[in-house]
Structure 1
Amino acid sequence: MGAGKTKRMPRAVREQQMLDAAVRIFGQRGYMAASMDEIAELAGVSKPLVYLYLNSKDDLFTACIRREARALTEAVRAGVLPGLSADGQLWSGLRAFFDHTARNPDAWRVLHLHARTHGELFAAEVAVMRAEIVAFVTHLIAAAARDAHRDPHLPEGEVAGLAEALVGAAEALADWAGATEGVTAKQAAATLMNFAWAGLGDLMTGRPWSPPEEPEAAPAPETAPEATTAPEPVARAASAQAG
């Protein structure tokens, strides 16, 4: 489409229009296969205008990652309402996460698939987003433990590990839900809630699971010293041959 056919509109609006098109193409094609011509066509602008606004394909992809990462983190934060119980906070956060990824499948593929596999700079952008979500979940778990028994006994490292595990499970389940026909965002959130809360609920009320006692290791058997002379039958045979 020629530049002469492009309707005049505010730069910010036009740029978001380009990013919308780019997220769709990057999400469906991947970074390498995505065409700037196709992005411009879908956005209804000329390719030179895309380069004028966003400099290069790398810069365009980075802008997509940053916008979608910000949208996801804001959705999760906004979904957790203050004053909810510990399970209510976890449930509302999971619902917000799965609702957002289900409504924006191309954006989720950009963040969780394509950005991680097309260079360290892109992967680093996603890592910033993920670290922010893990930190938020870590805070939720710590606050829930504090509210549950007033004197939290969860070590800081354990809380951080629980948050990493929960976020990792949510990411994997979002991929599964997106690839499985008929699975709704609510069903995906309930699946993870049922998986996680049985353990977290006990943990919050001071009933952690403990591994069974391991039997003490048996002492290693003593090894016989290496023989320095040939066994007696072999020695007799050697003497007979020598005689």
Structure 2
Amino acid sequence: MGAVKNKRMPRAVREQQMLDAAVRTFGQRGYRAASMDEIADLAGVSKPLVYLYLNSKEDLFTSCIRREAAALMAAVRAGVQPDLPADRQLWDGLRAFFAHTAQNPDGWTVLHLQARTHGEPFAAEVTAMREELVAFVTQLIVVAAREAHRDPSLAEGEVAGLAEALVGAAESLAAWANATPGVSAKQAAATLMNFAWAGLGNLMDGRPWVPPKQ
């Protein structure tokens, strides 16, 4: 049963209430199966009001993607203190990422699964968020690498692939952690940190892995 209707509720508050209901419905039911009637009922408003505020199901879904993407990026950025050592920055960023995805499983499902599988306009929204996240992680790594190698001209391109791989691993691990009972955000972050930092630490120390000649 939907929330109690409040005719005096400010538009911005009511719109967020609709988005909350939509994220929950899209995350649990999927984009195709979710209905505007269900979303309106969960939000405690009429379906025409949802259309009035958010235009269409497609526009509503896009608004959900943008809101959840912005919230995730804000959480990761807020979790990192730039004056700390590189490993601590990465650890704090990973903890913030996994904490947010664990606390907002429906939002993460919308971003990680639903938006990627229902057409280019939706996928493009997630791609933009992912590029921002990769750029942020690239900066974390490149600053540390420049300091370790005492080379202020070290190109971002040399570590961009590492950032891409790290973000991809974090995305997959978040989906796994949310689906696996008993796995905490801290445990997920530690798993990825143990997997990634041994290699990154060697790179910082100038000891990269070298492939065999044959």
Q: Normalization by structure 2: what TM-score?
A: 0.95
Match of 1:117 in 2: 117
Q: Return the offset for 1:155.
A: 4.9
Q: Return the offset for 1:152.
A: 5.9
From the CA coordinates, give the structure whose radius of gyration is larger.
1
Q: Which moved more, 1:205-214 or 1:70-79?
A: 205-214
**Structure 1's 78 and 5: CA in aligned 2 closer, same or farther, altered over 3 A?**
closer
What is the SS of the residue equivalent to 2:83? coil
**Is 1:145 the counterpart of 2:145 in the alignment?**
yes
Paired with 1:67 and 1:144, the residues of 2 have a C-alpha distance of 31
**1:43-122 equivalence runs, <5 A:** 43-122=43-122
Q: Return the offset for 1:74.
A: 0.8
**Is 1:166 the counterpart of 2:166 in the alignment?**
yes
Q: Return the offset for 1:78.
A: 0.9
Paired with 1:77 and 1:113, the residues of 2 have a C-alpha distance of 23
What is the SS of the residue equivalent to 1:183? coil
Q: Return the offset for 1:116.
A: 0.4
The question of whether the paired residues in 2 share the 8 Å contact of 1:36 and 1:47 is answered with yes
Q: Deviations over 1:181-207 (max 9, x none)?
A: 110000000000000000000101111
Q: Return the offset for 1:147.
A: 1.9
Runs of 4+ in 1 over 6 A off after TM superposition: none
Paired with 1:178 and 1:191, the residues of 2 have a C-alpha distance of 14
Q: Return the offset for 1:157.
A: 2.8
Match of 1:156 in 2: 156
Q: Return the offset for 1:149.
A: 2.7
Amino acid at match of 2:166: L
Q: Return the offset for 1:83.
A: 1.0
Match of 1:17 in 2: 17
**1:136-215 equivalence runs, <5 A:** 136-151=136-151, 155-214=155-214
Match of 2:127 in 1: 127
Amino acid at match of 1:150: R
Paired with 1:98 and 1:200, the residues of 2 have a C-alpha distance of 20
Paired with 1:39 and 1:165, the residues of 2 have a C-alpha distance of 36
Q: Deviations over 1:197-235 (max 9, x none)?
A: 000001011111111222xxxxxxxxxxxxxxxxxxxxx
Paired with 2:104 and 2:55, the residues of 1 have a C-alpha distance of 25
Paired with 1:178 and 1:24, the residues of 2 have a C-alpha distance of 15
Paired with 1:5 and 1:159, the residues of 2 have a C-alpha distance of 52
What is the SS of the residue equivalent to 1:195? helix
Amino acid at match of 1:52: L
Any gaps of 5 or more consecutive residues in structure 2? none
What is the SS of the residue equivalent to 1:73? helix
Paired with 1:40 and 1:125, the residues of 2 have a C-alpha distance of 24
Q: Deviations over 1:21-72 (max 9, x none)?
A: 0000000001000011111111011111000000100000000000000000
Q: Normalization by structure 1: what TM-score?
A: 0.84
Percent identity between the two aligned chains: 81
Paired with 1:136 and 1:156, the residues of 2 have a C-alpha distance of 11
Paired with 2:6 and 2:49, the residues of 1 have a C-alpha distance of 10
**Structure 1's 50 and 13: CA in aligned 2 closer, same or farther, altered over 3 A?**
same
Paired with 1:8 and 1:71, the residues of 2 have a C-alpha distance of 27
What is the SS of the residue equivalent to 1:74? helix
Paired with 1:152 and 1:206, the residues of 2 have a C-alpha distance of 15
Number of residue pairs matched by the alignment: 213
The question of whether the paired residues in 1 share the 8 Å contact of 2:146 and 2:154 is answered with no
Paired with 1:147 and 1:6, the residues of 2 have a C-alpha distance of 56
